[in-house]
Structure 1
């Protein structure tokens, strides 16, 4: 089986998980689902010969699990440093930079105790991963990020915009 086809199959698993993840209310469930989806997404990028994105996503799988238990800002800083080291050591150009900046938003959000802030950071980071996937041209990867960003926005809308308008 060609690597491209296998990569699209693996990222389809990511797609299925992320369709549901951002509709969950419990932040820890969101982070656990994102951990699993990152694992499959990382393998997808490695098959597409994108080591920066691949290793960042594999590391993100671990980072999301850590952020469920511990919200210390120093862990967030360590995670950002690890992502920076991954980016520098696997640098391939513009895609590496876009992926790193996207990871900064998502890392900062995942270590926040504020669900609303988490969702906003996921929208920003997911939008940059969407740009990354367009530049790379990974069709299912593009669909993953379109659904992830849309789902994140819908979850944000449901939990924060509608509920706020009902209160007023």
Structure 2
């Protein structure tokens, strides 16, 4: 089986996991499922000869599990340092830089104790990964990020905007 086809099959697992994860309310469950999705996504990138993205996602798989238990800011900083080291070590050009900046947003969100902030950071980071995947041209990877960003935005809307909009609509005009 060609590497490209295998990569697209593996990233399809990422797609299914992330669609489900971002509709959950429990932050720890979201992070556990994102850990699993990162494992598939990392292998997908390695098959596409994108070592920076591949290693960042494999490290992110571990990072998401760590961030379930510990929300310490020094661990977020240490994770960003590891991601920077990965980027420097495996640098192959602009896509390496883009992937690193996407990871900065996602790492910052994953170590936050605030679910609302997590979702916003996932939207920002996912948008950068979307741009990365468009430039790389990984069709299912593009779909993953479109759905991930869209699903994150829907989850954000459901949990943080819909209730506020509903409450504002119920109030009588003055």
Q: TM-score w.r.t. structure 2 length?
A: 0.96
1:162 maps to what in 2? 162
Q: CA deviation at 1:166?
A: 2.7
CA distance in 1: counterparts of 2:145 and 2:110, whole angstroms: 17
CA distance in 1: counterparts of 2:120 and 2:41, whole angstroms: 21
CA distance in 2: counterparts of 1:144 and 1:135, whole angstroms: 14
CA deviation vs aligned residue, 1:35-56 (integer Å, no higher than 9, x gap): 0000000000000000000000
CA deviation vs aligned residue, 1:51-89 (integer Å, no higher than 9, x gap): 000000000000000000000000000000000000000
Unaligned runs of 5+ in 1: none
DSSP 3-state at the match of 1:14:
helix
CA distance in 2: counterparts of 1:27 and 1:130, whole angstroms: 23
CA distance in 2: counterparts of 1:129 and 1:163, whole angstroms: 30
1:103 maps to what in 2? 103
Q: CA deviation at 1:134?
A: 0.2
User: How many matched pairs?
Assistant: 168
DSSP 3-state at the match of 2:112:
coil
Aligned CA RMSD, in angstroms, stands at 0.5
2:73 maps to what in 1? 73
Unaligned runs of 5+ in 2: 169-174
Equivalent runs, 1:46-125 vs 2, <5 Å:
46-125=46-125
CA distance in 1: counterparts of 2:72 and 2:27, whole angstroms: 16
CA distance in 2: counterparts of 1:125 and 1:80, whole angstroms: 14
2:149 maps to what in 1? 149
1:38 maps to what in 2? 38
Q: CA deviation at 1:167?
A: 3.3
2:172 maps to what in 1? none
Deviant stretches of 4+, over 3 Å: none
CA distance in 1: counterparts of 2:121 and 2:95, whole angstroms: 19
DSSP 3-state at the match of 2:49:
coil
CA distance in 1: counterparts of 2:165 and 2:137, whole angstroms: 39
